[in-house]
Amino acid sequence: MRRLVFAFVALLLCTAPIAAQDVTAPNEAEIDGRTETISKTLRCVVCQNQSIYDSNAPLAEDMRKLVKKRVEAGDSDDQVREYLRDRYGDYVLMSPPLQTNTILLWAGPAILILLGGFWFLLRLRGQPAAQKVDLTDEERARIATALNDKGGST
């Protein structure tokens, strides 16, 4: 019995800090981690081909700060992205969302591969007819007589 109580108390002691950690929401490491992942999906609006995570532009730096502030305020990853998209448009997202004006962009490579494959098959099918067949002298002679016969009968 004593051992059981001891075990129970020990269990309580080791769960207490874990529970405390959950309650204090602003976990610095977690916030930094999420800020990093979100920043990597947002495009720097001054440098065009970098995420705000990679960019040294002053505006990108301030955007990273903003992302961190939003995360600390309890926004989800998508809410943070939506916040900036609302102000800068789709441009600010590193990967363009699938919607009517980007459908060609997303489907383009697949369409090209399909078209290419279709074309390739067509060519492949046409190929045997165009292949050169070597005839023996005997075969040539038979064709010649056959053509002559045909020419004679008409």
Nearer to other proteins, 110 or 130 (CB): 130
Residue 89 phi, psi (nearest 5): 85, -175
- Residue-by-residue DSSP string for the chain: -HHHHHHHHHHHHHHHHHHHHHHS---HHHHHHHHHHHHHTBB-TTTSSSBTTT---HHHHHHHHHHHHHHHTT--HHHHHHHHHHHH-GGGBSS---SGGGHHHHHHHHHHHHHHHHHHHHHHHHHHHH---PPPHHHHHHHHHHHHHHHHH-
Nearer to other proteins, 25 or 113 (CB): 113
112 is a contact residue toward other proteins (CB under 8 A): yes
Place of tokens 């383009």: 108
Task: Write the single-letter amino acid at 95.
Answer: S
- Scanning 6-14, 19-27, 82-90, 133-141 for contacts with other proteins by CB under 8 A, the matching segment is 82-90
Build a one-symbol-per-residue string for 113-152: x at contacts with other proteins by CB under 8 A, - elsewhere.
--xx--x--xx--x---x----------------------
Judged by CB under 8 A, the chain residues 51 through 80 that form the site for other proteins are 58-59, 62-63, 65-66
In angstroms, give the least distance from the CB of 77 to other proteins: 18
- Scanning 17-25, 73-81, 83-91, 142-150 for contacts with other proteins by CB under 8 A, the matching segment is 83-91
Q: Which of 12, 16, 25, 46: binder of other proteins (CB under 8 A)?
A: 46
Binding site for other proteins (CB under 8 A): 45-46, 48, 58-59, 62-63, 65-66, 84, 86-89, 91, 112, 115-116, 119, 122-123, 126, 130
